[in-house]
Amino acid sequence: DAGVIQSPRHEVTEMGQEVTLRCKPISGHDYLFWYRQTMMRGLELLIYFNNNVPIDDSGMPEDRFSAKMPNASFSTLKIQPSEPRDSAVYFCASSLLGTYTGELFFGEGSRLTVL
Amino acid sequence: QKEVEQNSGPLSVPEGAIASLNCTYSDRGSQSFFWYRQYSGKSPELIMSIYSNGDKEDGRFTAQLNKASQYVSLLIRDSQPSDSATYLCAARGSGGYQKVTFGTGTKLQVIP
């Protein structure tokens, strides 16, 4: 399998612009997670889906952030409008989670810089 | 209080020594715990998982879990310079759904 695929790898944009990050999970995985990583706050969980349904979006910082998973093979994280404090590395991870098992497989991340 | 807490380090150990990394968690119902390694500029990768109280060994790595104290640790024996990375502790929450929360990570430096 190709692993979790994220795009774009790098994004530089100006404040106020819309940003869309994309993720293709590993085929057959039933959970998808979006994380944001900064030096100050570490790896923060933004939202996660189970079988394409959003389960917990309490980590989404504000209404400017939205995420969708229209099918089992695709998810987007959108920021509109973007702000400099949104600059971070955004990771998507997928997993097939049983009761006790379940490794998160991470994509390579999307590094976002908002000027 | 963060759900998973780690000392940010850096933790410096000489090559060949034992590195000890620690983590505490707040959700007493958490069932599964993980240690991920993250090299600079890369994504996290799983190195150990542990579900039961006690020790679990895999090569040079030993994970330890104490649910009564809500404490997880990772020991790296015979530390190598290639072990220099940030180590992230993660816990999977209780309940029907599987929220996975990470600590902020401990940076380990192995000095040749």
CA A52 to chain centre: 13
Cβ <8 Å between A101 and B32: yes
Rounded to whole angstroms, the Cα distance separating A79 from A48 reads 16
Cβ <8 Å between B44 and A43: yes
pLDDT score for B31 = 84
pLDDT score for A100 = 53
Q: What is the pLDDT of residues A34-43, one digit of tens each?
A: 999 998 888 9
Q: Would an 8 Å CB–CB cutoff place A5 in contact with chain B?
A: no
What 3-state DSSP class applies to B47? strand
Cβ <8 Å between A42 and B104: yes
Cβ <8 Å between B31 and A100: yes
pLDDT score for B96 = 61
Of A99, A100, A103, the CB nearest to B46: A103
pLDDT score for B95 = 65
Give the DSSP H or E segment for B29: none
* For B40, nearest residue in chain A (alpha carbons): A39
pLDDT score for A101 = 63
Average pLDDT estimate for B99-110:
92
β-strands B71-76, B100-102 pairing:
unpaired
